[in-house]
Structure 1
Amino acid sequence: MATLNQRLDSLPFTRKHSRLLAGSGLGWALDAMDVGLISFIMAALAAHWGLSATEISWLGSIGFVGMALGATLGGLLADRLGRRQVFALTLLVYGLATGASALSTSLAMLLVFRFIVGLGLGAELPVASTLVSEFSPARIRGRTVVILEAFWAVGWLLAAIIGATVVAGGEQGWRWALALGLVPALYAAVIRWGLPESVRFLQGKGKQQEAERIVKEFEASPALFASRGAAKPQQQTRPAAASLEEGRQSLFSPAYRRRTLALWTIWFCINFAYYGAFIWIPSLLLSSGFSLVQSFTFTLVMTCAQLPGYAASAWLVEVWGRRRTLAVFLFGSAASAVFYGLADSEPLIITAGCLLSFFNLGAWGALYALTPELYPTAVRASGAGAAMGFGRIASILAPLAVPPLVAAGGIYLLFILFALVFCLAAAASFALPEKRGVSLAA
Structure 2
Amino acid sequence: MSTTPPPPAAPAGLQPDKGEQPDDSGAFGWLRALGPRGRRAFAGAFGGYALDSYDYFTLPLSMVALSAYFGLNSGQTGLFTTVTLVVSAVGGAVAGVVADRIGRVKALMITVVTYAVFTVACGFAPNYETLLVFRALQGLGFGGEWAVGAILVAEYATAKNRGRTLGAIQSSWAVGWGLAAIVYTVVFQFLDDDLAWRVMFWTGALPALLVIYVRRNVHDAPEAAAERRKSAYKGSFTAIFKPGLLRVTCFAVLLSTGVQGGYYTLATWVPTYLKTERGLTVVNTGGYLIFLISGAFIGYLTGGYLTDKLGRKRNITLFAFLSAASILAYTNIPEGANGLLLVLGFPLGFCMSAIFSGFGSFLSELYPTAVRGTGQGFTYNTGRAVGAVFPTMVGFLADSWGVGGALIFGALGYGLAVIALFGLPETRGRELL
Q: TM-score range by the shorter chain?
A: 0.7 to 0.9
For 1:431 and 1:65, the matched residues in 2 are separated by 24
Partners of 2:89 and 2:345 in 1: CA distance:
27
Q: Which residue of 2 aligns with 1:283?
A: 272
Supply the AA of the counterpart residue of 1:305.
Answer: G
Distance 1:3-1:319 versus aligned 2 partners, 3 A rule:
closer
The answer as to 2:427 corresponding to 1:435 is: yes
Once the two structures are superposed, residues 245-295 of structure 1 have per-residue CA deviations (whole angstroms, 9 ceiling, x without a partner) of 9x9863233322332222111111111111111111111222213333333
Task: State the one-letter code of the partner of 2:226.
Answer: L
Matched, 1:298 2:288: yes
Q: Which residue of 2 aligns with 1:323?
A: 313
**In structure 2, C-alpha distance between the alignment counterparts of 1:197 and 1:16, rounded to whole Å:** 9
TM-score by length of 1: 0.85
1:315 is displaced (CA, Å) by: 1.3
Kept in 2: contact 1:134–1:198 (CA 8 A): yes
Structure 1 contact 340–415 (Cα < 8 Å) conserved: no
- Higher mean displacement: 9-18 or 98-107: 9-18
- Matched with 1:205 is 229
Query: Quick check: 2:170–2:357 contact (8 Å CA) kept in 1?
Result: yes
The amino acid that maps onto 1:126 is A
The residue aligned with 1:343 is: 333
Q: Which residue of 1 aligns with 2:415?
A: 423
Q: How far apart, in 1, do the equivalents of 2:411 and 2:387 lie?
A: 16
Paired residue secondary structure (1:22):
helix
2:202 alignment counterpart: 179
Question: What amino acid sits opposite 1:33 in the alignment?
Answer: Y
Using the TM superposition, give the Cα deviation of residue 46 of structure 1 relative to its aligned residue in structure 2, in angstroms. 2.3
1:62 match? 83
* Residues 35, 48 of structure 1: alpha-carbon distance in 2 compared, 3 angstrom cutoff: same
C-alpha distance in structure 2 between counterparts of 1:412 and 1:265, whole Å: 26
* 1:174-323 equivalent positions in 2, closer than 5 A: 174-199=197-222, 200-206=224-230, 250-288=239-277, 289-323=279-313
Counterpart in the other structure of 2:371: 379
Partner of 1:5 in structure 2? 12
SS at match of 2:300: helix
Percent identity over paired residues: 30
Q: Report the 3-state secondary structure (helix = DSSP H, G, I; strand = E; otherwise coil) of the residue aligned with 1:279.
A: helix
1:136–1:74 Cα change, 3 Å: same
In structure 2, the CA distance between the partners of 1:105 and 1:415, relative to structure 1 (3 Å rule), is closer
Q: TM-score, normalised by structure 2?
A: 0.87
Shift of 1:87: 0.6
Which amino acid is the alignment partner of residue 264 of structure 2? Y
Q: 1:397 to 1:408 in 2, by over 3 A?
A: same
Distance of 1:267 and 1:63 partners within structure 2: 16
Q: Alignment partner of 1:305: what SS?
A: helix
Contact map agreement 1:42 1:59 (CA 8 A) in 2: no
Distance of 2:72 and 2:165 partners within structure 1: 42
Superposed displacement of residue 23, structure 1: 1.5
How far did residue 331 of structure 1 move? 1.1
Return the alpha-carbon distance in structure 1 between the equivalents of residues 161 and 12 of structure 2: 15
Deviations 1:320-366 (A, max 9, x none): 11111111111110111111121122123223332221011110111
For the 8 Å contact 1:33–1:155, the answer to whether it is kept is: yes
Q: What is the distance in 2 between the residues matched to 1:284 and 1:165?
A: 20
Gaps of 5+ in 2: 1-8, 23-32
Farther off after superposition, 404-413 or 33-42: 404-413
Asked if the contact 2:227–2:369 (Cα under 8 Å) also holds between the matched residues in 1, the reply is no
Asked if the contact 2:164/2:305 (under 8 Å) is kept, the reply is yes
**In 1: Cα distance, 2:347 partner to 2:10 partner:** 44
- Return the alpha-carbon distance in structure 2 between the equivalents of residues 103 and 324 of structure 1: 45
- Structure 1 stretch 130-139 or stretch 398-407: which is displaced more? 398-407
How many Å separate the matches in 1 of 2:373 and 2:328? 35
Q: How many residues align?
A: 405
Runs of 4+ in 1 over 4 A off after TM superposition: none
| 1:155 is the counterpart of 2:149 | no
> How big is the shift at 1:397?
1.6
Residue identity opposite 1:377 in structure 2: T
SS in 2 for 1:427: helix
**Pairs within 5 Å for 1:87-98:** 87-98=108-119
Deviation at 1:317, TM superposition (A): 1.4
Report the residue type matching 2:371 in the other structure.
V
Tell me if the contact between 2:174 and 2:293 (Cα under 8 Å) persists in the aligned partners.
Answer: yes
How far apart in 1 are the matches of 2:258 and 2:202? 32
The residue aligned with 1:42 is 63
Q: 1:248 to 1:155 in 2, by over 3 A?
A: closer
The residue number in structure 1 matching 2:36 is 15
Matched, 1:353 2:360: no
Residue type matched to 1:5 in 2?
A: A
Structure 2 CA distance for aligned equivalents of residues 248 and 92 of structure 1: 24
Instruction: Name the amino acid aligned to 2:12.
Output: N
Cα RMSD between the aligned structures? 2.5
Tell me if the contact between 1:248 and 1:378 (Cα under 8 Å) persists in the aligned partners: no
- Following the alignment from structure 2 to structure 1, what is the Cα–Cα distance between the partners of residues 200 and 153? 29
Match of 2:227, as an amino acid?
Q
Residues 349 and 377 from structure 1, CA distance in 2 versus in 1: closer, same or farther, beyond 3 angstroms?
Answer: same
| Unpaired runs of at least 5, structure 1 | 207-239
- Which SS does the other structure have where 1:74 is aligned? helix
Do the aligned partners of 1:164 and 1:300 also contact (CA within 8 Å) in 2? no
